[in-house]
Amino acid sequence: MTSPVSELIELLSLERLEDNLFRGQSRDIGTKYVFGGQVVGQALSAAQATLAAVDPDKGPRAAHSLHAYFLRAGDITAPIVYEVDRTRDGGSFSVRRVTAIQHGQPIFVFAASFQIHEPGPEHQLSMPEVPRPEDIAPTAPPPPEVLATLPIKVQRWLNRMGPFEFRPIYPRDDLNPPKRPPFQQVWFRLSEKVGDAPELHRALLAYASDFHLLGTTTFPHGISYYQPNVQMASLDHAMWFHRPFRADDWLLYSIDSPSAQNARGLARGMVFDLQGRLVASTAQEGMIRVLPVDPPKA
């Protein structure tokens, strides 16, 4: 049997159909539709695959930012085709636009910018003071008797052994969520060591960056994705890569939600390595609908 990490790397390794056309498969990890991080990671992989021949004498061009919109829910049972537009190759920067297509319709649009390495001024915000990952116990799945009362897909999501290990600083019971301020910090890492290719680690972090973001916007309201009257979906996703990192080393995801309104919530994240270096930043807005609960029938 292949490991979850090997399956994820295979998922991010797209089949090249043409110079600018790629096909990726989907995985059912317990979500109703294709997991948003999968599409972000695959789109970044497609864009990165078109950069190898761009002025190699200046060195590789690494992704420094990406911006994406989720247009339609993705079908877990069908492959996704990624069409890359080589928008610009300048002296230092390159831009790629990617459209993800399923069943003849775009489900996702994406733009990413890439840059050669250049020296310049540096500063960053400090990492929050939190316990180290080795001082935090791994999160245990819900007891079997609790899992048995949940829908099958929710059971699969909560009971899965995924490719990433997550250790929240202040865990929350999402099945019975309390009201809390909209902040959280989570240590995470890939559960196995992988190769050194920086583009692989960027695609892996893009995949993982979709975890925990939108959920933070629900904290002040005492609701969660697992409640049947709560509908949640990512609307957009943005990410900035600041410094080199490894997705198979511990990283701290520090997230806050400055606002929720009009059935939408906004979340922001900063990703730090164990040395306290800010390696990436994220932002996401998502739909949050709380539907009326039907009164019990007589």
Calpha distance 73→57 (Å, rounded) = 41
284 included as an active-site residue: yes
CA separation for the pair 27, 34 (Å, rounded): 7
Closest CA to 87 of 111, 60, 52, 115: 111
Q: Give me the catalytic one of 113, 234, 257, 281.
A: 234
Cα 295 from Cα 298, distance rounded (Å): 9
Set 209, 210, 273, 281: catalytic member: 210
Q: Is residue 50 within 8 Å of residue 86, measured between CB atoms?
A: yes
CA dist 98 and 87 (Å) reads 10
Place of tokens 């050669």: 116
- Residue 234 designated active-site: yes
111 close to 96: Cβ distance less than 8 angstroms: yes
3-class secondary-structure state, position 40 = helix
Distance CA 124, CA 127 (A): 9
Q: How far apart are CA 100 and CA 83, in angstroms?
A: 7
Angle 226-231-233 from CA coordinates, rounded to 5°: 105
Contacts of 67 (CB under 8 A, 6+ apart): 110, 111, 112, 236, 237, 238
Under DSSP, is residue 27 helix (H, G, I), strand (E, B) or coil? coil
> What is the C-alpha to C-alpha distance for residues 171 and 153, in angstroms, rounded to an integer?
22
Distance separating alpha carbons of residues 36 and 134, to the nearest angstrom: 29
**Strand, helix or coil for residue 184:** strand
Which active-site residues does the annotation give? 210, 234, 284
